[in-house]
Structure 1
Amino acid sequence: MAKTQLNVRVDEGTARAARERATARGMSVNRYIEELVRRDAGEVGHTFVEAASDFMKQYEALFVEEFGAEREGGTHEGRR
């Protein structure tokens, strides 16, 4: 995978914490930050899917009433 350089400015305390945590995990600060961002991006995606699922559960009856309930494997009684 191609790498892109990203420059960020943080206060000295944050920089020190990043260096200490990366060292404790036996990795570079670069890799430590990269893994934090990947993990955070994954959590956001997971949170979105959970919220969408909750929304659909909450409003499923309204969608069925408005659009019908055709689904894979058959249809539900309702408008077609």
Structure 2
Amino acid sequence: MAKTQLNVRVDETTAEAARRRAQQRGVSVNRYIEELVQQDAGEVGRAFVEAAADFMREYETVFAEEFGQERTGRA
């Protein structure tokens, strides 16, 4: 995958923490930040799917009444 440069400004305390954590993990600061963003994006995606599933479970009968059983995925 092609890489894109992204410039961000953070305070020195945050920058030092990022450098320290990256070094502890044996990765570059770039890789450390990339992993954090990927982790965060994955968690948000999972949270959305879980919330959508909860919503569908809660309102399944409403959808069945409104649209009929054939639209709920049940025979």
Give the TM-score band, short-chain normalised.
over 0.9
Q: Report the TM-score, using the length of structure 2 for normalisation.
A: 0.94
Deviation string 1:28-70 (CA, Å, 9 cap, x unpaired) is 0000000000000000000000000000011000000000121
SS in 2 for 1:9: coil
CA distance in 2: counterparts of 1:49 and 1:37, whole angstroms: 18
Give 1:39's aligned amino acid.
Answer: Q
Unmatched tracts of structure 2, length 5 or more: none
* Count of paired positions: 73
More helix by share: 2
Larger radius of gyration: 1
The equivalences for 1:9-48 within 5 A come to 9-48=9-48
Moved over 2 A (4+): none
Unpaired runs of at least 5, structure 1 = 76-80
What is the root-mean-square deviation of aligned Cα atoms in Å?
Answer: 0.8
